Amino acid sequence: MQLNRSLDGLADRKIDVSEDISRSVRDILADIRQNGDDALRRYAREFDGFNEDSFLVTRNEIDDAVANVDDKFMQILERAHNQITEFHTNQIQESWSVYKDNGVQMGQIIRPLGRVALYVPGGTAAYPSSVLMNAIPAKLAGVDDIAIFTPVKADGKVPDIILAAAACCGVNTIYKVGGAHAIAAAAYGTESIPKVDKIVGPGNAYVATAKRMVYGDVDIDMVAGPSEILIIADESANPKYIAADLMSQAEHDVLSSAILVTTSELLINKVETELTRQIKGLNRKDIITESLARYGAAILVEDIDAAFALSNDLAPEHLEILTTNPLEMLPKVQNAGSIFLGEHTPEALGDYMSGTNHVLPTGGTAKFYSPLGVYDFVKWSAYSYYPRAALSTLKDDVITFANLEGLDAHANSIAVRFEDNID
In terms of Cα–Cα distance, which of 159, 160, 165 is closest to 130? 165
Cα-Cα-Cα-Cα dihedral sign, residues 292, 296, 302, 308: negative
| H-helix segments, 226-315 | 239-250, 265-278, 285-295, 304-314
Strand order in the sheet with 96-99: 96-99, 105-112, 378-385
| H-helix segments, 90-227 | 128-141, 160-169, 179-188, 205-214
Known active-site residue 320: no
Annotated catalytic residue, options 317, 320, 343, 347:
317
CB 176 within 8 A of CB 409: no
Known active-site residue 317: yes
CA–CA–CA angle 262, 265, 271 (5° rounding): 75
CB 131 within 8 A of CB 171: yes
Annotated catalytic residue, options 181, 252, 318, 358:
318
Helix (H) or strand (E) holding 200: strand 198-200
Catalytic (active-site) positions: 317-318
